Chain A
């Protein structure tokens, strides 16, 4: 059986959890087995996981799980995996997944590959999976040969596929055993977080002044995109730190990344080069970013960005 841990921060199943269940279902099909999802704490829409491939949803209701503690969560997933005889456990490669993957692999005596980005291939009792390594500069194929295997799935690597129907949720008795006391969760409401965003509009020092960001925000609004920035912009406090994408900031892999007035230093590319399509707008035709781009526009961003926005609005109105 393939067990998928479905994250539900603030009571709602995340998009990345639907991706993980879709991945878990396809992996289960390859192995000729079923896919079961597990949710923890207070969850409003657990049954919906059935739509994306879970044949059953197990739920541990202890509200103590609403506050994240890697030790408690890993112990709960491991206990369910053992009770149910799971041979593969799938997590999201999110802040939560990264905190529990290592722990879970030790508890289950399982081989772990984190950040996988495609379906496994089955090779006898082993699984082969791929992930990007060296900050996007290479792809590694791993072989896992332990009885139980733990995989964490990179965000935006598979699309959630609605193939089934909602299922009933079965309660499993367990309590959270953690030692971390969560005091506060500060998140921006109404904005798709950068690691999960499908379209990202990002700007750099070419903007010249934080007061000029209106054109970037307008473009992001039209595209329903999340805004981001380069390191020098965050370091100069032109934009908040949580917008910083790149090696030291957040690594992202959207479908579309639009880089405005960013030269494309290797440290920046390391955080964005897994984007499916990259558009670069820069006045310097020699900017290194053009080498990593799919589409480029050489010119004055203060002219180009508003015009791109107008063209997009026209497109949106027609479609």
Chain B
């Protein structure tokens, strides 16, 4: 079983978001970075569980600068066997997908894992792009993944429920809550992560076709209007006349 888990580095969930250069660029000053939670908690852990049950290897892949190696080592501490870092600034979903696809093309992975989306750009774009480059089936937002020989059974989150499907290896999947439980790396994992292989790969050329050109912060809320708990008629009146939502 040869498994690839694509991990992103994102600002921490609680990070204060701000921009510099007139809103052209994210301001990373003072921001704590983490492994994108869906990549870590669900995709990486499920890949490690499958490797533990069936043998094989888990490779963690990140497109990013050398500063991302702390995040990559964490993936190794959680259980990936080796890691690849494609040495480039992850400029856009299209750029990242191209890099991953070019790397994975010759490697014959059985399953390529992603988190359902990143918590920074919230696009959920890269998995589908990689699947199309490699002409593989793609199941997104999977909350369950079981393997039986060469066939996987998956549950995919859809509006108001789940869809159960089967697909044969190889395929691409994006993971949502339910696929696995978060793992905290143990001391042994942290120690061995230091010596596991982490290979640096040069990026390939890519022509950008969609890029973020301007960031703004949402308008501040006017502030909460407190309503007398004894007077719910007043709340209903405001929802109707002022907010116009009922």
Contact = CB atoms under 8 A, between A and B. Distances in A.
Interface of A: 9, 68-71, 74, 94-96, 98-107, 109-115, 128, 131-146, 149, 178-188, 191-196, 199, 223, 241-242, 244, 247-251, 255-256, 266-267, 270, 276-277, 279-280, 290-300, 303-304, 307-308, 310-312, 314-315, 319
Nearest to B136: A71
Nearest to A248: B177
Contact of A186 (B164, B167, B226, B227): B164
Interface of B: 11, 13-14, 17, 19, 37-38, 41, 93-94, 97, 117, 119-133, 135-141, 153, 156-168, 176-178, 209-218, 221-222, 224-227, 229, 232-233, 235-236, 238-240, 243, 245-246
B138 A71 contact: yes
A184 B135 CA distance: 24
24 contacts: A70-B128, A71-B131, A71-B138, A74-B132, A99-B140, A100-B128, A102-B126, A106-B129, A111-B210, A113-B210, A114-B123, A132-B122, A135-B13, A138-B17, A138-B216, A184-B164, A187-B161, A193-B159, A247-B37, A290-B224, A295-B224, A308-B236, A314-B236, A315-B246
Given A102-B93, A112-B93, A183-B164, A94 B159 contact: yes
A102 B164 CA distance: 22
A136 B211 contact: no
Interface of A is mostly: mixed
A134 B167 contact: no
Given A179-B168, A296-B225, A315-B240, 18 more contacts: A9-B158, A71-B132, A71-B137, A71-B138, A100-B128, A102-B93, A107-B132, A133-B215, A137-B217, A141-B213, A149-B210, A180-B139, A181-B166, A183-B165, A187-B162, A223-B246, A292-B221, A314-B233
A103 to B, nearest CB: 4
Contact of B227 (A142, A145, A178, A295): A295
Contact of A98 (B140, B166, B238): B140
Contacts of B153: 183
Contacts of A311: 232-233, 235-236
B147 to A, nearest CB: 15
A308 B232 contact: yes
A310 B243 CA distance: 20
Contacts of B243: 256, 276-277, 294-295
Nearest to B178: A241
A146 B14 contact: no
Nearest to A178: B137
A296 B125 CA distance: 37
B132 A242 contact: no
A296 B93 contact: no
B13 A114 contact: no
A295 B160 contact: no
A149 B153 CA distance: 34
B133 to A, nearest CB: 6
A158 B119 CA distance: 24
A13 B130 CA distance: 29
A312 to B, nearest CB: 6
Nearest to B130: A102
A304 B227 CA distance: 11
A103 B140 contact: no
B13 A308 contact: no
Contacts of A142: 210-213
Quick one: which of B133, B158, B159, B232 has the most chain A CB within 10 A?
A: B159
A249 B42 CA distance: 13
B243 to A, nearest CB: 5
Contact of B163 (A132, A185, A192, A270): A185
A270 B117 CA distance: 13
Contacts of A266: 13-14
In order of increasing CB-CB distance, the 3 nearest A-B pairs are: A102-B128, A193-B160, A187-B161
A94 B159 CA distance: 8
Nearest to A310: B232
